């Protein structure tokens, strides 16, 4: 499966200021596969070690003598390590003590070595007192497959390429077909195991089983690592997400977790889910002005799941409801529509996403993004009705250089507001950024 993050990995390899790489992301988004593929295609060999499966890895970082560590890696992986020609790939690094901190010494004492590490729970190590090597590593975030990656995986290479290139005349001509495939993506989602199952012609109801197993794995992983007093709270937050984003006002409400619940009681649980890469947090801004980060309000936010297919599994949405009708975009107050737009935007590197609610008014902009030092509103419409009163009022009051309305309608560019099909939102914004 071709993944867009490969371009970032190529850039990392060729960067003369390269540091050891941490590939972060939730379990089963394809981190190990992509690093192995990158290693076998871009290096003479790969010295691969899975710390979870190799008992001797527990002593690998008993000290920070990098040259001793490299010699031990050669023994454990049965691979000769040659600087610049070998990719040292360490998987599940969180399973061994001092592993993360050892990356600092690779950066300082062996910068010529190409080192990449992956792990499903690396973000959680901060909670366990692990000394993070600040400034000594490069970090990339990996997400589930976006829609264009999904298209390529199922054999729709030309459609994928046209979307990536922003060939809107072509995509408008094929609009209905792409919308049908988008509904399929809403069901299957972007988790590689689910996508591969679809490619292998596994029945759709069995793909739901795969998704439910992934969801169970997430909670089980957190239960093993999180403090006992947090496990119940983590589960409560996680299980509440479908109901939270099905509300008309999608701001996270602690009262939905239990009567009288307060933010302070659950903020650590939410952080565990964020660190595990399982949820996305979108904070409100008090002013829709650049730079948006100056106006971020940490106590008002929305929580989304990392993948629309997993959200559908949590909602127990039937395949026919998703793949055969466009009503799914309007159901649950457009929850799947906002979920889709958010996760597509999150696939764009270094793009921060917020939302805006005008004080004392019924005016909410679903998402706000920064592009070329401009604050740009993004309205996620659930159907083909392009009436967006909040966005119109926002434009009158704030006079943005550009506004985005994404819906099930074909692409249409206007002086200020562009209508962007839901299936094209990530590529439209990515082309704006670049």
Predicted confidence (pLDDT) per residue in 265-309, tens digit: 999 999 999 989 999 999 999 999 999 999 999 999 999 999 999
DSSP 362: S
- Reading the block at residue 167, the tokens are 């060939």
Of 363 and 109, which is predicted with more confidence? 109
357-414: per-residue pLDDT in tens? Answer: 998 777 899 999 999 999 999 999 876 655 678 899 999 999 999 999 999 999 999 9
Distance separating alpha carbons of residues 63 and 77, to the nearest angstrom: 19
CB of 93 closer than 8 Å to CB of 117: yes
Indicate whether 431 pLDDT > 70: yes
194-245: per-residue pLDDT in tens? Answer: 999 999 999 999 999 999 999 999 999 888 888 898 999 999 999 999 999 9
Number of CB atoms found within 10 A of residue 49's CB: 23
Domain 5-141 has what CATH class?
alpha beta
DSSP 136: S
Sheet arrangement for strand 417-421: 296-305, 279-285, 353-357, 364-371, 374-380, 403-407, 417-421
Site of tokens 């590529």: 427
CB of 375 closer than 8 Å to CB of 288: yes
For helices 192-199 and 175-188, the axis angle rounded to 10 degrees is 120
pTM assigned to the model: 0.93
Domain positions in the chain are: 5-141, 147-433
């Amino acid at each position: 499966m071709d993944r867009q993050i490969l371009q970032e990995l190529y850039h990392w390899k060729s960067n003369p200021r390269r540091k050891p790489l941490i590939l972060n992301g939730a379990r089963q988004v394809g981190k190990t596969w992509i690093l192995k593929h990158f290693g076998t295609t871009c290096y003479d060999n790969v010295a691969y070690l899975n710390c979870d499966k190799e008992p001797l890895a527990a002593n690998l970082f008993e000290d920070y003598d990098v040259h001793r560590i490299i010699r031990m890696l050669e023994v454990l992986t049965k691979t000769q390590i040659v600087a610049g020609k070998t990719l040292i790939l360490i998987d599940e690094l969180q399973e061994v003590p001092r592993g993360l901190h050892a990356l600092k010494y690779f950066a300082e004492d062996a910068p010529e070595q190409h080192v990449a590490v992956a792990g499903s729970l690396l973000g959680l190590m901060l909670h366990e007192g692990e000394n993070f090597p600040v400034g000594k590593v490069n970090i990339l975030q990996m997400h589930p497959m976006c829609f264009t990656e999904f298209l390529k995986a199922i054999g729709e290479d030309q459609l994928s390429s046209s979307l990536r290139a922003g060939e809107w005349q072509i995509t408008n001509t094929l609009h209905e077909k792409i919308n049908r495939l988008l509904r399929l993506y809403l069901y299957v989602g972007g988790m590689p195991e689910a996508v591969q199952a679809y490619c292998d012609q596994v029945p759709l109801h069995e793909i739901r089983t795969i998704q439910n197993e992934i969801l169970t794995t997430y909670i089980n992983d957190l239960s093993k690592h999180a403090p006992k007093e947090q496990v119940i709270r983590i589960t409560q937050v996680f299980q509440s997400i479908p109901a939270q984003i099905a509300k008309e006002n999608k701001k996270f409400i602690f009262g939905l977790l239990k009567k009288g619940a307060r933010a302070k009681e659950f903020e650590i649980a939410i952080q565990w889910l964020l660190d595990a890469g399982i949820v996305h947090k979108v904070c409100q801004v008090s002013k829709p002005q650049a730079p948006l980060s100056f106006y971020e309000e940490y106590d008002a936010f929305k929580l989304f799941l990392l993948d629309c297919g997993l959200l559908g599994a949590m909602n127990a949405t039937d395949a026919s409801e998703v793949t055969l009708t466009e009503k799914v975009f309007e159901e649950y107050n457009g929850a799947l529509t906002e979920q889709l737009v958010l996760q597509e935007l999150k696939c764009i590197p270094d793009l921060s996403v917020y939302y805006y609610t005008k004080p004392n008014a019924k005016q909410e902009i679903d998402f706000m993004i920064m592009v070329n030092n401009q604050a740009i509103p993004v309205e996620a419409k659930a159907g083909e009705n392009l009436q967006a009163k909040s966005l119109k009022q926002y434009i009158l009051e704030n006079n943005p250089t550009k506004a985005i309305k994404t819906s099930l309608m074909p692409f249409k560019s206007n002086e200020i507001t562009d209508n962007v099909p839901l299936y094209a939102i990530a590529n439209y914004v990515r082309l704006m950024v670049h």
